[in-house]
Amino acid sequence: MKKANKRVIPGFGLSMGITISILSIVVLIPLASLVVFTTGMDIGEILSTITRSRVLASFEVSFITALIASLINAVMGVVLAWVLVRYDFPCKRLLDGMIELPFALPTAVAGIALTSLTADTGLIGGFFAQFGVKIAYTRVGIIVALVFIGIPFVVRAVQPVLEKLDASYEEAAGVLGASRTRIFWKVIFPEIRPAVFTGFGLAFGRCLGEYGSVVFIAGNQPYETEITPLIIMSELQEYDYASATAIALVMLLVSFLILFLVNLIQIRNAKILKGGN
């Protein structure tokens, strides 16, 4: 009970207990079985599986497209959240309501719809085809699909924080003569940075693992547009559980690392913020 003096607020035992038990059943035990399954293989086998040139190429494809897509999402997400929180304009509620729609559409349907739009016979694809730009069946197509599925993460992470943010700060800064861009970078952005990172991290992780929509739009050419989840799927189709789980484990570790970094940054930020107070 030594630490209890710090914990004035009640409910630590209850909330931790429930958190950890649900977490164990839904996440930890199933993930552990993946790890257990892989420990059955020897290290050399795992390494030779994950360093096959085609697998490495797929890591590259997945990583680059996910990174670009989540950067786009981070920027657009902040813009959207900003517009939705700070401005009044017609159809605002409508715009606000649209944000979650990508979640509700099954990813496969999203993939099919986006492909038919961006193929060179489609509405958007046809427009770009005039300039010799191909969207569907290239990496650009993959990025389009990933932006689609990732956008709600950033918007919905940033929006509540912006809403809570006191406008008086900026007003004060404005009165003091700071320019708007300066206010944004110096006053507002530090406040929403943790939320942006969270949204970015979640979107990035989700994009890395996305399968359903990407397989339709990607073209799936080995070395060019073949993503890692597709490789896992093809290993499964060959009943090669060992290779599939080995590659899956790599992806899992990468996701975990990304999230861990994001959380580190976020918690550090929270501390700085509190210290500032």
Partner 1 sequence: MHSESKGSKAVKWILIGISFLFVFLMLVLPLITVIAESLQQGFAVYAEAVADEYTVKAVLLTLEATVFAVAINTVFGLFAAWALTKFRFKGKKLLSTLIDLPVTVSPIIAGLIFVLTFGRQSPIYPLLQELDIKIVFAVPGIILATIFVTFPFISRELIPVLEAQGTDEEEAAALMGAKGFTIFRRITFPHIKWAFLYGIVLCAARAMGEFGAVSVLSGHLRGKTNTLPLHVEILFNEFKYVPAFAVSSILVMMAIVILIIRSVVEYIGKREKDNVR
Partner 2 sequence: MKKNILSLTLAATVLLTGLTSVTGCSSDKGSSSGEKITLTNVSYDPTRELYESYNALFAEHWKEQTGQEVEITQSHGGSGKQALEVANGLEADVVTLALEYDVNAVRDAGLIEDGWVSEFGNDSAPYTSTIVFLVRKGNPKDIQDWDDLVKEGVGVITPNPKTSGGARWNYLAAWAYAEELYSGDEAQVKDFIKKLYQNVLVLDSGARGSTTTFVENGQGDVLLAWENEAYLSIQDYPDDYEIIAPSISILAQPSVAIVDGVVDDRGTREVATEYLQYLYTDEAQRIAGDNYYRPSNEEILKEYADVFNLNINLVTINDFGGWDEAQTKHFTDGGVFDEIYEKSE
Rounded to whole angstroms, the Cα distance separating 9 from 129 reads 61
Rounded to whole angstroms, the Cα distance separating 111 from 184 reads 36
Rounded to whole angstroms, the Cα distance separating 157 from 237 reads 37
Q: How many CA atoms lie within 13 A of 250 on its CB side?
A: 22
Rounded to whole angstroms, the Cα distance separating 272 from 190 reads 10
Q: Smallest distance, Å, CB 27 to partner 2?
A: 13
- Alpha-carbon torsion, ordered 145, 146, 147, 148, to 10 deg: 50
Encoded tokens for 141: 């197509």
Contacts of partner 1 in 230-259 (CB under 8 A):
232-233, 236, 244-245, 248, 251-252, 255-256, 258-259
Residue whose CB is less far from partner 2, 53 or 181? 53
Q: Smallest distance, Å, CB 173 to partner 2?
A: 45
User: Can residue 225 be called a binding residue for partner 1 (CB under 8 A)?
Assistant: no
Encoded tokens for 57: 């190429």
Q: Smallest distance, Å, CB 223 to partner 2?
A: 6
Choosing from 50, 102, 220, 255, the residue that interacts with partner 2 (CB under 8 A) is 220
Contacts of partner 1 in 98-117 (CB under 8 A):
98-110, 112-114, 116-117
Compute CA 17 distance to the chain's CA centroid, rounded to the nearest angstrom. Answer: 28
Number of residues that bind partner 2 (CB under 8 A): 44
User: Can residue 219 be called a binding residue for partner 2 (CB under 8 A)?
Assistant: yes
Contacting positions for partner 2 (CB under 8 A): 1, 4, 12-14, 16-18, 20-22, 24-25, 49, 52-54, 57, 112, 115-116, 119-122, 136-137, 215-216, 219-223, 230, 233-240, 243
